[in-house]
């Protein structure tokens, strides 16, 4: 089994209102599991549910508290459904009081053939083989699970505080380090698989954590399956760092420049 599938696996029957997951050291970050893997675990609870219909359209995850190592309960329920969409609520609960440590709102929808127009264009990048592989072995565990090839904005934290601050923009190729065909779970995790923009902007790693992230999917399941395990073209950026919080944005493109997902986050920092 791929490490990502082990990390996002759930115990219990798919239709149970409460299932259980377990953290993985392979996708560990500063004080808890990698947020993208946790988000994908919440999405898996919905995708495996026998009442789920349609493909994921939007996933919002709120990180309420650090998820401690070990087992956690995953509560899932369908809040509302209509002819074209479903609205799901997911909570991770942990500890003696079973307090929520993560909440998620997930929308699935039927995608039908329609008029198509994509004003967004994929970033111009050299071919992956023309760019050096980022050294992912000397950082947090989750970083080693992904292959990065930067054309612009590679992370560097061994510099004095830059003045003016560095650009928050990064252009790079992104893929699972161990090959895995793309699906909604891995695409959701990859929408969080970019370094905190503030690390790059100030050239060091201050206390930092994502508070809330939303990913929008722009492709259907068959389109993701056709992508296979090829790298994604990724654009990550930020627009504001102000009074302890900052935003982060990401765009992920597949074959022929198709926009597969966009994401936005709000994160806490202390610097």
Segment 212-231 mean pLDDT: 97
Does pLDDT of 14 surpass 90?
A: yes
In the 3-class helix/strand/coil scheme, how is the chain assigned residue by residue? CCHHHHHHCCECCCCCCEEEEECCHHHECCCCECHHHHHHHHHHHHHCCCCCCCEEEEEEEEECCCCCCCEEEEEEEEEEECCCEEEEEEEEEECCCCEEEEEEEEEEECCCCCCCCCCCCCCCCCCHHHCCCCCCCCCCHHHHHEEEEEEECCCCCCCCCCCCCCCCCEEEEEEECCCCCCCHHHHHHHCCCCCCHHHHHHCCCCCEEEEEEEEEECCCHHHHHHHCCCCEEEEEECCCEECCEEEEEEEEECHHHCEEEEEEEEEEECC
Predicted pLDDT at 9: 98
Q: Which two tokens stand for residue 114?
A: 């329609």
Tell the residue number behind the tokens 């935003």, with chain if given: 247
The percent of residues above 90 in pLDDT, for the chain, comes to 92
pTM of the full structure: 0.96
| Superfamily for the 3-110+131-269 domain | Acyl-CoA thioesterase, double hotdog domain (2.40.160.210)
132-168 confidence digits (pLDDT tens)? 999 998 889 999 999 999 999 998 887 678 889 999 9
Instruction: Answer for the pair 100, 94: CB distance below 8 angstroms, yes or no.
Output: no
pLDDT at 96 over 90: no
What pLDDT, in 10s, does the model give residues 57-87? Answer: 999 999 999 999 999 999 999 999 999 999 9
Q: Is the model's pLDDT at 268 over the cut of 90?
A: yes
Task: Please state the domain extents for the chain.
Answer: 3-110+131-269
């Amino acid at each position: 089994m791929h490490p990502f599938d082990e990390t996002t696996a759930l115990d219990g029957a798919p239709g149970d209102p409460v299932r259980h997951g377990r953290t993985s050291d392979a996708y560990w970050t500063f004080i808890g599991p990698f947020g993208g893997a946790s988000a994908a675990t919440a999405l898996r609870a919905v995708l495996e549910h026998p009442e789920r219909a349609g493909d994921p359209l939007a996933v919002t995850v709120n990180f309420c508290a650090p998820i401690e190592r070990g087992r956690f309960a995953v509560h899932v329920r369908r809040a509302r459904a209509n002819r074209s969409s479903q609205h799901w609520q997911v909570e991770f609960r942990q500890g003696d009081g079973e307090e929520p440590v993560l909440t998620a709102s997930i929308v699935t929808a039927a995608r039908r053939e329609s008029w198509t127009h994509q004003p967004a264009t994929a970033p111009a990048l050299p071919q992956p083989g023309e760019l050096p592989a980022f050294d992912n072995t000397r950082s947090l565990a989750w970083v080693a699970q992904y292959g990065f090839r930067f054309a612009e904005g590679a992370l560097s934290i061994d510099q004095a505080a830059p003045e003016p601050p560095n650009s928050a923009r990064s252009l790079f190729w992104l893929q699972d380090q161990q090959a895995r065909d793309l699906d909604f779970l891995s695409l959701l995790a990859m929408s969080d698989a970019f370094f905190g923009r503030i690390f790059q902007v100030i050239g060091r790693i201050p206390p930092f954590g994502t508070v809330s992230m939303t990913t929008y999917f722009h492709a259907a399941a068959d389109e993701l399956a056709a992508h296979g395990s090829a790298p994604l073209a990724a654009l990550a950026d930020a627009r504001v760092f102000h009074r302890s919080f900052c935003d982060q944005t990401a765009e992920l493109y597949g074959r022929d420049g198709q926009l597969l997902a966009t994401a936005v986050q709000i994160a806490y920092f202390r610097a």
